[in-house]
């Protein structure tokens, strides 16, 4: 990574502490990623993005902000990127996947709370995340209780706007979400000083759909047996999708897909690995823990049914409509198909997993739950019942970001792989 100390200093980064953070990442990345055998050439782009995670992209954001563009930070796939892009702002999904931030997070949040929330509150508290410090607005949402209450604390540090997500999926809830999207448009117009038009919103929808299509294309390739790409690499690409420049990301993902199609045609990849679908809570960068444990054994992850997976790229927003109101309804309809455990009931998630298990020729499902995430923990029971009815083996794993339980988890995953 180049020398960005001046830029970080200007953003208010605590340089000493930031150095410590930067020491950890390359080591983890090289042991988890660069040690994989026979990686596609196209992964070089994504290696570069990660190696420059606090460099080039931060510099890009800085240059765009100097021109007057605004940067919006988000923590949930319900925040509609279409609106942010349509108003010529930049959307950044803020990372919350590092153990490094958990301790600082615990100074403002209770200890017995999901590590994802503690990590983003830690990043907000200790001035080591240049992305967080580059944002002009943070958009929160009323999903789980922990996040909902975290915004109340974060608002002392940052300009924050909270979208009120309904907890059910009736037509009146979809209409409520449409109203929330319209209110968000209003807030974004004030932030950017730009006025939204039908054409601009359609362009935002189109770009987001293109990104979804590229990710869907990539994930469809994993249906091949064996998959032409590791689960670790696919997870990384999805994580990068949240903060990279969308056009450049689409181009590089499609380029990689061209290469993977050739790989499949050549028939060169041969293995008999067990095929695992991972479902559950999202894995924010740099949380690669579960995938690296699974893929260190004789198994490959062939899909993530999560917000850092299928929930992010499935279903497009209809581009049909002549008014902002109609397009906002289309956006609301698409987003309300996301099967987050914060909804009640949330039967669509189990239905999706059963369907995916067939499509991706899955041998077993691992239900991944971050510690203290109550909604996903409770939902395991009904999910297990549906999967058992469909003869799909399932293993539940609850863990945090630390490596203390790695040995124990490996043993459990190994036993599961032997059993399926
Ligand atoms: S749409 S999954 S991104 S809320 S893991 S913080 S739920 S206690 S992240 Fe999520 Fe949006 Fe839903 Fe997806 Fe709370 Fe659970 Fe932690 Fe979670």
Q: pLDDT digits over 42-77, tens only?
A: 999 999 999 999 999 999 999 999 999 999 999 999
Q: pLDDT digits over 7-19, tens only?
A: 999 999 999 999 9
Report whether residue 343 contacts ligand 1, using a CB cutoff of 6 Å. no
Report whether residue 373 contacts ligand 1, using a CB cutoff of 6 Å. yes
Report whether residue 204 contacts ligand 1, using a CB cutoff of 6 Å. no
H-assigned helices in 141-245:
145-154, 171-192, 198-221, 231-241
Three-state DSSP string of 318-362: CCCCCCHHHHHHHHHHHHCCCCCCCCCCCHHHHHHHHHHHHHCCC
Rounded CA gap, 49 and 29, in Å?
Answer: 12
Could you say which DSSP state residue 55 is in?
T
Give me 415's structure tokens.
Answer: 């036993």
3-state DSSP assignment of residue 84 = helix
Going from N- to C-terminal start, the domains of the chain cover: 4-419
Give the Cβ contact number of residue 204 at 10 Å: 25
* pLDDT in the model for residue 2: 67
Give me 109's structure tokens.
Answer: 């949040």
> Which amino acid residue places its CA nearest to atom 8 of ligand 1?
373
pTM of the model: 0.97
Is residue 163 scored above 80 in pLDDT?
A: yes
The enclosing H or E element of 283 equals none
Is residue 24 scored above 90 in pLDDT?
A: no
> Which atom of ligand 1 is the closest one to the Cα of 143?
4
Rounded CA gap, 317 and 332, in Å?
Answer: 9
Lowest pLDDT segment from 27-36, 185-194, 278-287: 27-36
Report CA 289 to chain centroid distance, whole Å: 15
- pLDDT averaged over every residue in the chain: 97
Rounded (5°) CA angle 1-309-241? 35
Q: pLDDT digits over 175-213, tens only?
A: 999 999 999 999 999 999 999 999 999 999 999 999 999
* pLDDT in the model for residue 367: 98
CB-based burial label for 348 (10 Å; 0-12, 13-18, 19+): middle
Q: Which of 73, 282, 284, 343 to mutate to test the pocket of ligand 1 (most atoms within 8 A of CB)?
A: 282
CB 303 within 8 A of CB 219: yes
Strands (E), 32-170: 71-74, 90-93, 137-141, 160-163
Q: How far is the CA of 101 from the centre of ligand 1 (A)?
A: 18
Report whether residue 221 contacts ligand 1, using a CB cutoff of 6 Å. no
Q: How far is the CA of 282 from the centre of ligand 1 (A)?
A: 7
Report CA 209 to chain centroid distance, whole Å: 16
pLDDT-derived band at 95, boundaries 50, 70, 90: confident
3-state DSSP assignment of residue 4 = coil
Report whether residue 150 contacts ligand 1, using a CB cutoff of 6 Å. no
Report whether residue 376 contacts ligand 1, using a CB cutoff of 6 Å. yes
Q: pLDDT digits over 374-395, tens only?
A: 999 999 999 999 999 999 999 9
Report whether residue 307 contacts ligand 1, using a CB cutoff of 6 Å. yes
Q: Which of 96, 119, 147 to mutate to test the pocket of ligand 1 (most atoms within 8 A of CB)?
A: 147
Is residue 295 scored above 90 in pLDDT?
A: yes
Sign of the dihedral through C-alpha 346, 343, 395, 33: positive
Q: Which of 76, 144, 373 to mutate to test the pocket of ligand 1 (most atoms within 8 A of CB)?
A: 144
């Amino acid at each position: 990574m180049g020398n960005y100390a001046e830029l970080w200093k200007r953003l208010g980064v605590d340089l000493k502490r930031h150095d410590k953070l930067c020491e950890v990442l390359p080591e983890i990345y090289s042991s988890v990623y660069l040690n994989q055998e026979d990686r596609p050439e196209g992964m070089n782009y994504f290696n570069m993005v990660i190696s420059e995670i606090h460099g080039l992209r931060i510099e890009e954001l800085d240059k765009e902000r100097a021109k007057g563009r605004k940067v919006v930070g988000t923590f949930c796939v319900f925040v509609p990127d279409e609106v942010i892009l349509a108003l010529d702002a930049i959307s950044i999904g803020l990372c919350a996947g590092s153990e490094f931030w958990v301790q600082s997070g615990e100074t403002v949040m209770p200890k017995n709370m999901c590590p994802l929330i503690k990590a983003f509150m830690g990043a907000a508290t200790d001035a080591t995340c240049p992305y967080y410090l580059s944002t002009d607005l943070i958009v929160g949402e009323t999903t789980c209780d922990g996040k909902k209450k975290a915004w109340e604390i974060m608002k002392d540090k940052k300009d924050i706007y909270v979208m009120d997500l309904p907890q059910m999926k009736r037509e009146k809830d979809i209409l409520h979400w449409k109203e929330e999207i319209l209110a968000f448009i209003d807030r974004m117009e004030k932030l950017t000083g730009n006025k939204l038009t039908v054409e601009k919103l359609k362009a935002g929808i189109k770009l987001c759909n293109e990104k979804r299509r590229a990710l869907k294309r990539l994930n469809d390739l994993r249906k091949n047996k064996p998959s032409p790409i590791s689960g670790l690499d696919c997870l990384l690409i999805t994580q990068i999708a949240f903060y990279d420049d969308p056009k450049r990301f689409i181009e590089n993902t499609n380029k990689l897909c061209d290469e993977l199609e050739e790989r499949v045609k050549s028939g060169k990849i041969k293995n008999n690995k067990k095929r695992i679908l991972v479902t559950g809570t999202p894995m924010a960068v740099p949380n690669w823990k579960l995938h690296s444990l699974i893929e260190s054994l004789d198994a490959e992850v062939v899909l993530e049914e999560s917000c850092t997976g299928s929930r992010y790229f499935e279903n497009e927003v209809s581009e049909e409509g002549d008014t902002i109101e109609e397009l906002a309804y289309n956006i609301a309809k698409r987003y309300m198909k996301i099967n987050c455990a914060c909804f009640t009931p949330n039967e669509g998630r189990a239905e999706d997993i059963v369907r995916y298990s067939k499509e991706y020729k899955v041998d077993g499902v691992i239900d991944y739950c971050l510690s203290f995430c109550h909604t996903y923990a409770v939902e395991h029971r009904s999910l297990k019942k549906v999967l058992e009815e469909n003869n799909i083996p399932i293993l539940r794993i609850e863990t945090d970001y630390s490596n203390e339980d790695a040995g124990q988890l490996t043993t459990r995953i190994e036993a599961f792989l032997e059993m399926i």
